[in-house]
Each structure stands twice: as structure tokens, then as C-alpha cells.
């Protein structure tokens, strides 16, 4: 499954790159793109673990930039 989500409070391109690198390391992620200009996260993972992967991705976002949130 591949879904795109809006990001709130993503303030710098360097943080977006760090988030993308961190999310890429999550087991099950087959594709990730964090776009600073459009403030969007595109994530692909198997359907059966997608929600689990999304929660881990949200944790990576908060760790990198505490005010950043994934909007569903």
C-alpha cells in the first residue's frame, strides 16, 4: 500500500532529509519520500503492517522535529 500524508510544522529541508533516512530504516518500508516544499510524506509498506509502520514513521518525525505531525 502506498499513501501520501500532509505534514504539519516541517520547518527545514535538512530535517525532511533526516526523517526520510530514518523512516527508510524501518522494517517493511519499501518506499518513502519526505518532500519539504509540498509538506508531504509518501510511504509504501505491505498492507498488513502499514499502520504499524506509519506509527513508527510518526515517531521518527517527532524525534527529528518535535513539532512535526503527520496529518491523516
Domains of the chain: 2-71 (3.30.70.100)
Quote the pLDDT of residue 38: 97
Q: 0.85 cut: is pTM over it?
A: yes
The 10s digit of each residue's pLDDT in 29-51 is 999 999 999 999 999 999 999 99
Distance between CA atoms of 54 and 25, rounded to whole angstroms?
A: 13
Mean model confidence pLDDT for the chain = 97
| DSSP, residue by residue, 32-54 | EEEETTTTEEEEE--GGGHHHHH
The contacts found for 54-60 with CB under 8 angstroms, 24 or more apart, are 56/23, 56/26, 57/23, 57/26, 57/29, 57/32, 60/19, 60/22, 60/23, 60/26
Q: Which whole number is the average pLDDT over 51-65?
A: 97
Amino acid at each position: 500500500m502506498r499513501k501520501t500524508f500532509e505534514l504539519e510544522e516541517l520547518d527545514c529541508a535538512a530535517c525532511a532529509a533526516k526523517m526520510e533516512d530514518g523512516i527508510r530504516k524501518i522494517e517493511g518500508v519499501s518506499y518513502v519520500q519526505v518532500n519539504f516544499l509540498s509538506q508531504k510524506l509518501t510511504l509504501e509498506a505491505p498492507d498488513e503492517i502499514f499502520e504499524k509502520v506509519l506509527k513508527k514513521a510518526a515517531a521518527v518525525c517527532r524525534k527529528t522535529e518535535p513539532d512535526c505531525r503527520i496529518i491523516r
